[in-house]
Structure 1
Amino acid sequence: MQEAKILLKQTDWNVSEIAFSLEYTEVTHFNNFFKKHLDTTPTQFRNVRFS
């Protein structure tokens, strides 16, 4: 989870690229895992840094 948060904040990779780099075979699995643990989607998490 920490690696996902770092990649979302410090790279311009899209969510699919991050999911596959973390060895998720399906982007939806990554999105669901992320939302389950942080109560926000990866895209929403990333957009907070621009607010």
Structure 2
Amino acid sequence: MAVTRLIRKDRRNKAIANNKVAAIKHLKSRPTIQLVDIEAIKAEFAAKAAK
């Protein structure tokens, strides 16, 4: 009995999976946003405005 392999479909499925993995890796490679001290930033602007 012969086996039919859907080569194009297999290639497309693997490409979709690889693209998803690459997108996740790309998102994880970005640095996380650090906690920002808003009061310190406001004080800096006030100091600059006072000059």
Pairwise TM-score range, normalised by the shorter structure: under 0.3
Rg (Cα) greater in structure: 2
TM-score (norm 2): 0.27
